[in-house]
Amino acid sequence: MKILITLSYVGTGYMGYQLQGDKPTVALMLNRAVRKAFGFDCNVTGCSRTDSGVHALGYCATIEPKNKQNQITVPLDKIPIALNTMLPSDICVISAKEVSDDFHARYNVVKKEYVYKIRTSPIRDPFLSGRVLEYGREISDESLAKMQIGASQFIGTHKFDAFMSAGSKVDDTTRTVYKSFLKRKGDIVEFHVVADGFLYNMVRIMVGTLLDIERGKINESTISWIISLKDRKNAGQTARPDGLYLKKVYYH
């Protein structure tokens, strides 16, 4: 029996999702909770890596007993409660459902959606510390419109070498972006992006480049040019992880 769970977490206190020995990661907490809740070890497979300090609204992972003789007897609708009892307060399982034995949490993904939150008030909010990028100043409607023009140029199938951390070892940098837009919610500006996959730090570099448009460092029409040059040095800085959330994972 293989179970697909969806969880949300605040990544501030963790070094990303993936296991890194005994270092504090979301996967370590989840593996420990699974062992306690079910009474035996399971293979826990996540849908992707997330960087240190990055959050998730809809992260997905599968749980499967390592020993086929072991069976998960907790009813599906009770699994979130069973796991949440064992998890720290900044990690929460939202739902659980049974999937086929050949389902893979990572390889069956067809697209992912990320949202990056930029807070534009000059007065920081201590209750949002580590959960948004505190930009420290307002973004005008005119600047936001220019950023929208820039964001729209990410859409399509491109080689995103310029939006990948230098030194990343990836053979194929081609990704297809389906949606890329910004919207304002009070003093928060959100950048939403949906793609069939993302390179290392891709969203954070996109945000850094869009903020260069807001600052007047680059023209809003130059995103396509930056993409075409395929050189990391032409894109903006890598934005802090604080404002980044994995929003949703889409499967076949």
Closest CA to 96 of 25, 174, 1: 1
CA triplet 18, 19, 21: central angle to 5 degrees?
155
98 Cβ contact partners less than 8 Å away, ≥ 6 residues apart: 1, 2, 3, 4, 76
Is 77 known to be catalytic? Answer: no
66, 45 Cβ separation under 8 angstroms: no
Q: How many CB atoms lie within 10 A of CB 246?
A: 25
Backbone φ, ψ for residue 4 (5° rounding): -100, 120
List 22, 51, 90, 172, catalytic entry: 51
The catalytic residue positions are: 51
